[in-house]
Structure 1
Amino acid sequence: MTAYEKPGLFPLLPLAGYPVAALTTDQLKAQLIRDLDQGRRRMLFFVNTNFVNQCTALKAALTSPEVILVNDGVGMDLASMLIHRRRYPDNLNGTDFVPALLDALVERRQAGGEGGEAPRVFLLGAKPGVARQAAQVLEARGVAVVGALDGYQESADNDRVLAEMNAGGADIVLVATGNPRQETWILENAPRLEARLFIGVGALLDFLAGDKPRAPETIRRMRLEWLYRLSLEPRRLARRYTVDIGRFLVRCIREHRT
């Protein structure tokens, strides 16, 4: 076992006190499908520079054995090279990974493999109308969506939200309310739900619904999607990709030295 491996779980490349797993896309996908089959509860969060800065108050809760933290973005690779002299095996951003996971579950069902019925998915978050548009896109791909509520008025009554999720028989809950709201909601409410997999998905529903455009594939391959998003939303994202990057690196270095 390496110095960065958590007993019984995954190899880790921790940053800023967060136990970030060092997994490939296929390894993570296989683990989550196995957990779903075995009825094991999991909470999956994608750790990028903004997550590190915004979720410090949740750090203790994020060490739970039920939680998987994975790396998202070039900033995480740069910090890992600085601290550990190693990169993460893959860039596990939720915008690509979550649809791929859902597609794999649909394909397995269609092929008649293990798992029986496809897991039922519930969408929570984003602006009014966006979650329902995203649901239509996922349903066209064969995903069984059993509910969709926006992150505003429709989700104001949390008890009603939980009741809808349980009544719909949701197995997977995708929460898109941004850091640290989505992580806080999942950590606090997962024990009250029958679902087995909870994922904080950030802007995924916006992208699925076409409410926000994704960078062209060439830019994504160059790992410059952050620059594309900055060009579209400079006011909202300028601080995140300048001052907050500095705060992120300071946190990583300080934690490594303690």
Structure 2
Amino acid sequence: MNMHATRAAFGLDSLKMILGIPVLAIRWNDAIALLNRLLAEKRFTKVSFLNAHNANIAYTDPVFAEALDDFLILPDGIGVDLAAKLLYGAAFPDNLNGTDFVPAFLQASKRPLTVGLLGATRVNAEAASLKLAALAVQHSFVVVHDGYFSAAQEPEIIGRIAKLRPDMLLVAMGVPRQELWIERHIDERHCT
């Protein structure tokens, strides 16, 4: 999805290009409302966060940059804020870094969701599941698999995701592996 397609798909006017990546300039509460709306409408959406590290990787890796074209990108950190100030005269309205935004989004979402977790070590994925379940008791959290699997295991993991069909799948495998994996394997057949 290029910048124009992103604007059209989400009805967005506030995109800022950072090293060729369209990043949504949105307030925290508006981003929560947008994601809740997309979930309510059952609009399959890939979401990622752009920080300085991701932006630099995308700038030098055209495959990663192309994969990000199909994601709704939220701003993460001071690096992209500084870039926005230099390029557009103003920082992003809010810092929507994933480690803060995702738990806040889950807390704010009233409709019960099934949330799949894929990635990290098994111990860390289980711990994250327990923490998130205590934080957002209205949701169900399911650890699909850790992030350490072979290509031969992928069909089983993808099948497990399709069977679970979570409302939301959180993938934690590091940049750019997680975005590339999502781009190659996850679509509306797997998640709401």
TM-score (norm: length of structure 2): 0.86
Shift of 1:83: 1.3
Letter in 2 for 1:178: G
Residues 89-134 of structure 1: CA deviation (Å, up to 9, x unaligned): 00010011000111112xx24xxxxxxxx11011111123110111
Equivalent in 183, 205, 210 of residue 179 of structure 2: 183
Q: Where does structure 2 lack aligned partners over 5 or more consecutive residues?
A: none
1:88 aligns with 2:82: no
Equivalent in 67, 82, 98 of residue 61 of structure 1: 67
Q: Where does structure 1 lack aligned partners over 5 or more consecutive residues?
A: 110-117, 197-258
- Give the SS at the match of 2:35: helix
Match of 1:145 in 2: 141
1:10/1:158 Cα in 2 relative to 1: closer, same or farther (>3 Å)?
Answer: farther
Shift of 1:155: 8.2
Match of 1:246 in 2: none
What's the Cα RMSD here? Answer: 2.1
Given that 1:18 and 1:59 are in contact with CA atoms closer than 8 Å, whether structure 2 keeps it comes out as yes
Given that 2:67 and 2:180 are in contact with CA atoms closer than 8 Å, whether structure 1 keeps it comes out as no
From the CA coordinates, give the structure whose radius of gyration is larger: 1
Match of 2:7 in 1: 6
1:10/1:190 Cα in 2 relative to 1: closer, same or farther (>3 Å)?
Answer: farther
Question: How much identity, in percent, do the aligned residues show?
Answer: 35
- Give the SS at the match of 1:69: strand
Given that 2:26 and 2:92 are in contact with CA atoms closer than 8 Å, whether structure 1 keeps it comes out as yes
Given that 1:122 and 1:172 are in contact with CA atoms closer than 8 Å, whether structure 2 keeps it comes out as yes
Match of 2:126 in 1: 132
Where does 1:7-22 land on structure 2 (aligned, <5 Å)? 7=8, 8-22=11-25
Letter in 1 for 2:171: V
1:48/1:28 Cα in 2 relative to 1: closer, same or farther (>3 Å)?
Answer: same
Given that 1:176 and 1:182 are in contact with CA atoms closer than 8 Å, whether structure 2 keeps it comes out as yes
- Give the SS at the match of 1:152: coil
1:123 aligns with 2:117: yes
Q: Runs (4+) of structure 1 moved beyond 4 Å?
A: none
Shift of 1:192: 6.5
Given that 1:146 and 1:169 are in contact with CA atoms closer than 8 Å, whether structure 2 keeps it comes out as no
C-alpha separation in 2, matches of 1:148 and 1:42: 19
Shift of 1:153: 3.8
